[in-house]
């Protein structure tokens, strides 16, 4: 996954680690968890792209109840 602030969960990870008692050098865990999260997001995106079923605008409108 490319650098996209939308997917930057480092503040959330830091908050969770602080709750878990991490401090100082142990906060290097942030990078480890962010890397794992990025890999997971990449895998989810790839899976979604491979399994996506193309849909016309009319089909989408019908599927979500607009028509």
Alpha carbons 31 and 21: distance in angstroms, whole number: 17
34-52 per-position pLDDT tens digit: 889 889 989 999 999 999 8
> Could you tell me the pTM of the whole model?
0.51
Q: Domain range holding 21?
A: 5-63
| Closest CA relative to residue 17, chosen from 8, 6, 4, 30 | 30
Provide the token pair at 35: 């890397």
Number of domains the chain contains: 1
Provide the token pair at 47: 């899976």
6-29 per-position pLDDT tens digit: 777 778 888 888 898 888 877 777
| Closest CA relative to residue 28, chosen from 12, 39, 13, 40 | 13
């Amino acid at each position: 996954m490319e650098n996209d602030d939308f997917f930057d969960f480092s503040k959330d990870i830091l908050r969770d680690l602080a709750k878990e008692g991490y401090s100082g050098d142990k906060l290097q865990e942030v990078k480890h968890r962010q890397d794992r999260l990025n890999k997971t997001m990449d895998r989810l995106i790839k899976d979604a792209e491979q399994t996506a079923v193309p849909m016309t605008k009319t089909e989408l409108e019908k599927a979500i109840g607009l028509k």
